[in-house]
């Protein structure tokens, strides 16, 4: 299976600042997904990152807060903008398996906002 590298692995940020998370895959993939996992909660899909077009956001998530870039088929970034303590979560990038059903996850970014 593909290797998914995500960085930073963790960060502590101040309220009102922004953080960009990078996700690099060692092979070309059509779709990449960004998930959020709030403390003690399950995974919630933020958006699907599409190469060559704007990301598709899930209900409750907006581009101004979570801008996403997908410059090529191996790389994507998620920015968490104007952060507040409520944004403290694990952020995960993921790619689908060969049959586009299962997902494989990067190592995650543990974000704490003070």
Binding of another protein at residue 68 (CB under 8 A)?
no
How long is the chain?
114
Binding of another protein at residue 108 (CB under 8 A)?
yes
Binding of another protein at residue 102 (CB under 8 A)?
yes
Query: Is residue 55 within 8 Å of residue 48, measured between CB atoms?
Result: yes
Binding of another protein at residue 75 (CB under 8 A)?
no
Binding of another protein at residue 78 (CB under 8 A)?
no
The total of other beta-carbon atoms located within 10 Å of residue 78's CB is 26
- The neighbouring-strand residues paired with 33 are 48, 94
Binding of another protein at residue 105 (CB under 8 A)?
yes
Binding residues with another protein: total (CB under 8 A): 15
- The neighbouring-strand residues paired with 78 are 21, 68
Chain positions contacting another protein, by CB under 8 A: 41-43, 45, 90, 92, 101-108, 110
């Amino acid at each position: 299976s593909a290797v998914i590298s995500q960085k930073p692995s963790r960060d502590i940020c101040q309220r009102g600042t922004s953080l960009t998370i990078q996700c690099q895959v060692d092979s070309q993939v059509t779709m990449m997904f960004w998930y959020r996992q709030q403390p003690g909660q399950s995974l919630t899909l933020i958006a699907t990152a599409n190469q060559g077009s704007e990301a598709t956001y899930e209900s409750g998530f907006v581009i101004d807060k979570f801008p996403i870039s997908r410059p090529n088929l191996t790389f994507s970034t998620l920015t968490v903008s104007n952060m507040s303590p409520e944004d403290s979560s694990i952020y995960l990038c993921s790619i689908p398996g060969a049959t586009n059903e299962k997902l494989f996850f990067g190592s995650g970014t543990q974000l704490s906002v003070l």
